[in-house]
């Protein structure tokens, strides 16, 4: 594929179905709002916020997709109760972004930003997990526009809404802040094995007050 480095890891594959989920054949399209038009000459990936040096790191599309490429075999669990098992995701590990644009020591969370101002918050530990990847491919093929081309985040250990489609950047944060769906009633953490679907299920310390 012309990528500088490639290796494989297993993400969450083989762990089975979390509670309340059903096995899905195929990959349904689920998103809020229209599919954005990709304009490569305008596209950039930006890392900002509580960075180690206080600056901003920007890659254009050519630069970002030239970063070391990995494959991760991992399951995808949608909060709407379908699960897709054993998918192969190809792309840039979140750990690579953390290495090239490190956060400040006091950073605890990230906000992942996507087209149209969509956002999803993550604990830094979930973002830095081995299986978290900025996917450009699924099963060896480029993502389609409906599934997030050119880049979507895959966070296998959390519900799929925590990994937005059409990602454009990452903000490092020193305190948690709710993203788009988290402000609208979804659980702030989103662990499918604990069935953390909705904000009313949150316990003390799970997230900022609504």
Q: What whole-number distance in Å separates Cα of residue 39 and Cα of residue 95?
A: 26
Mean pLDDT for back-to-back runs of 10 residues, the chain (210 residues) = 48 77 76 82 97 98 97 95 94 98 98 96 98 97 96 98 97 98 97 97 95
**Helix (H), strand (E) at residue 73:** strand 70-77
Q: What whole-number distance in Å separates Cα of residue 183 and Cα of residue 49?
A: 20
The pLDDT, as a whole number, for residue 25 is: 79
The pLDDT, as a whole number, for residue 9 is: 53
Longest dimension (CA), the chain: 47
Q: What whole-number distance in Å separates Cα of residue 102 and Cα of residue 48?
A: 10
> If DSSP codes are grouped into helix, strand and coil, which group holds residue 38?
coil
**How far is residue 109 from each of residues 20, 117, 173, measured CA to CA in Å?**
28, 18, 5
Contact assessment for residue 121 and residue 182, using Cβ atoms and an 8 Å cutoff: yes
Q: Are strands 44-49 and 57-60 parallel, antiparallel or unpaired?
A: antiparallel
Burial (CB count within 10 angstroms: exposed 0-12, middle 13-18, buried 19+), residue 68: middle
Strand partners, 45: 59
The pLDDT, as a whole number, for residue 16 is: 83
Fold of 8-13+43-176: Sulfite Oxidase; Chain A, domain 2 (3.90.420)
DSSP per residue over 105-173, as a string?
Answer: TT--EEEEEEGGG-EEEEEHHHHTSTT-EEEEEETTEEPPGGGTTT-EEE-TTS-GGGS-SSEEEEEEE
Contact assessment for residue 73 and residue 9, using Cβ atoms and an 8 Å cutoff: yes
- Residue 169: phi, psi to the nearest 5? 170, 175
The pLDDT, as a whole number, for residue 210 is: 87
Please give the DSSP secondary-structure letter assigned to residue 24: -
What's the pTM? 0.90
The pLDDT, as a whole number, for residue 4 is: 43
């Amino acid at each position: 594929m012309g990528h500088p480095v490639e290796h494989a890891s297993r993400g969450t594959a083989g762990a089975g179905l979390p509670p309340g989920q059903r096995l899905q054949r195929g990959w349904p399209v689920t998103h809020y709002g229209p599919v954005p038009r990709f304009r490569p000459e305008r596209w950039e990936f930006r890392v900002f916020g509580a960075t180690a040096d206080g600056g901003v790191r920007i890659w254009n599309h050519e630069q970002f997709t030239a970063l070391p490429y990995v494959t991760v075999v991992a399951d995808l669990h949608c909060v709407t109760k379908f699960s897709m098992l054993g998918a192969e995701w190809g792309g840039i590990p979140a750990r690579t972004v953390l290495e090239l644009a490190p956060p400040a020591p006091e950073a605890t969370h990230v906000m992942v930003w996507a087209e149209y101002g969509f956002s999803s918050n993550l604990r830094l530990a979930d973002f830095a997990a081995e299986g978290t990847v900025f996917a450009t491919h699924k099963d060896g093929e480029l993502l389609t526009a409906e599934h997030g081309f050119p880049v979507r985040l895959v966070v296998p250990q959390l519900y799929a809404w925590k990994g937005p489609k059409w990602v454009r950047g990452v903000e490092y944060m020193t305190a948690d802040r709710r993203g788009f769906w988290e402000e609208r009633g979804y659980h702030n953490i989103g662990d499918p094995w604990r069935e953390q679907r909705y904000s009313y299920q949150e316990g003390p310390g799970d997230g900022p007050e609504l």
